[in-house]
Amino acid sequence: MNGDEFGPPAPRGGEDSGGGQGLSPAEFFSSLPGGGLPCLLGALVSVFLMQSGLLSIFFMAPLGFLGFSFGRRTAWTGALLAALLNTLCTLGLSLFLGRSLARFLPDLGYIFLMAGAFTWLAAPPPAGIFRIRAAYRLILGALAGALAGFLLGNAEFSEMMRAQAELLSSMVTASAGADAVRRSLLEQELSPERILQVFNLVQVRGGALGAYMLILFINRQFSLGLTALFRRGQGSREGSLMSFHVPAGLIWVLSLSLGGILFFRILGLSLPETAAWNCFILCVLMYLAQGLGIVRFAVSRRPAGRLLLNIGIILVVFSPGINVVALGLLLLLGIAEHWAPLRVVRDRPPSTPAA
């Protein structure tokens, strides 16, 4: 597992070698590729996504596109510019609506943190202590996002979750029809408070960490797709997932975390059990990525393999029950590669010359 299988391509065009020492902000900006226009456009698209509500989870994809297509300086400048422009937009919105800016401060802090974490994932420094494997950058970015979500909080998200819990509770209760006994039981067991309690428990025990890893990974794949679409021939390394391998000792972490969950549950120690759950979910996600890499490797060696894979993914995603089985098989496939080489390139035998 050498190299940066999960990471960006090498810098192109020497954009990162010039530095920006001794330049004014205008000179530095104009020294970026395209006179800084791609950087500005990427930042504006990112801010639009930040403010769009439903699409806000994709605000990092334009920043990744800048990193994969134009290099580190452009990506980090775009991330800082996007965060600052979003702050100005939020300030103007708070003044227009007559709301206190303090209400938006947690969101602004979250945007700065996630923009930095994802830009570090897509455009890491060339050397130094921060140049670690991209899989570890993904984990640390997800961990930072999950901790920020717990510490900073989000009033609008909490209100939305409460509204969803009340809607779900009312729908389930209404399904009881005229059966008064069943309705009473459902109202007690599936009250909005009970649903929120279960949701918060899942969040703490690895759900938030897994969600942030998924968000970062999807944004990364979206960035690579944009790079392949708009920057053809730039070496986006779209198939890098095929070469992703988990660390050799991760199987022990998976086993110990699973044992820790059972052990600490028996002892009634909630804090170490929560830590064990997060370790377990982290290992599961990495093995799922390895299993998906194995599938990508297998279908890439078949005619129309990518088309068949995309069709299969669509069918699995929209097939309740089947998707759970598919995830289980991917997990087992990823674990099985510890003992069986599943991505071996077999050389074709040399053709026999005609007699």
**pLDDT digit string, tens, across residues 93-105:** 777 777 766 667 7
- Least confident span in 203-207, 245-249, 314-318, 347-351: 347-351
CB atoms within 10 A of CB 264: 18
pTM: 0.73
CA angle 155, 157, 159 (to 5 degrees): 70
Q: Which pLDDT tens digit goes with each residue over 4-57?
A: 555 444 444 445 545 555 667 677 777 777 778 888 899 999 989 888 877 888
Alpha carbons 237 and 120: distance in angstroms, whole number: 17
Residue 256 has pLDDT above 90, yes or no: yes
d(CA 75, CA 37): 12
Do 114 and 226 sit in the same domain of this protein?
A: yes
Domain boundary among 193, 221, 236: 236
Is residue 127 within 8 Å of 16, Cβ to Cβ? no
What is the distance between the alpha carbons of residues 94 and 108, in angstroms, rounded to a whole number? 12
**Which of 191, 221, 236 marks a domain boundary?**
236
User: Which pLDDT belongs to residue 259?
Assistant: 93
Query: Same structural domain for residues 267 and 301?
Result: yes
pLDDT at 257 over 90: yes
Q: Classify residue 164: in a domain, yes or no.
A: no
pLDDT value of position 128: 73
Are 257 and 137 found together in one domain? Answer: no
Q: 302 and 227, same structural domain?
A: no
What is the pLDDT confidence band of residue 158, given thresholds at 50, 70 and 90? low
Question: In which domain, by residue range, is 329 found?
Answer: 238-342
Segment 178-236, tens digit of pLDDT: 667 676 776 677 777 777 777 778 888 888 888 888 888 888 888 887 887 777 655 44
Assign 3-state DSSP to the chain and report helix, strand, coil percentages, each to 5.
70, 0, 30
Query: Is 17 inside any structural domain?
Result: no
What's the rounded Cα separation, in Å, for the pair 186 and 190? 5
CB 114 within 8 A of CB 107: no
On whether the CB atoms of residues 81 and 42 are closer than 8 A, the answer is: no
Assess whether 218 and 254 both reside in one domain.
no
Residues 80 and 149 in one domain: yes
Largest CA distance in the chain: 89
Tell me how many domains the chain contains. Answer: 2
Phi, psi of 100 (to 5 degrees): -75, 140
pLDDT value for 354? 47
- The answer to whether residue 212 is domain-embedded is yes
Q: How confident is the model at residue 260 (pLDDT cuts 50, 70, 90)?
A: very high
pLDDT, tens digit, 9 for 90 and up, residues 67-84: 888 888 889 999 999 989
CA distance linking residue 251 with residue 257, whole number of Å = 10
Shared domain check, 253 and 146: no
Q: What is the pLDDT of residues 294-330, one digit of tens each?
A: 888 888 777 666 667 767 766 776 677 777 788 888 8
Is 40 among the domain residues? yes
Euclidean distance between CA atoms 261 and 270, whole angstroms: 9
DSSP readout, 214-271?
Answer: HHHHHHHHHHHHHHHHHSTTS---GGGGGG----TTHHHHHHHHHHHHHHHHHHT-HH
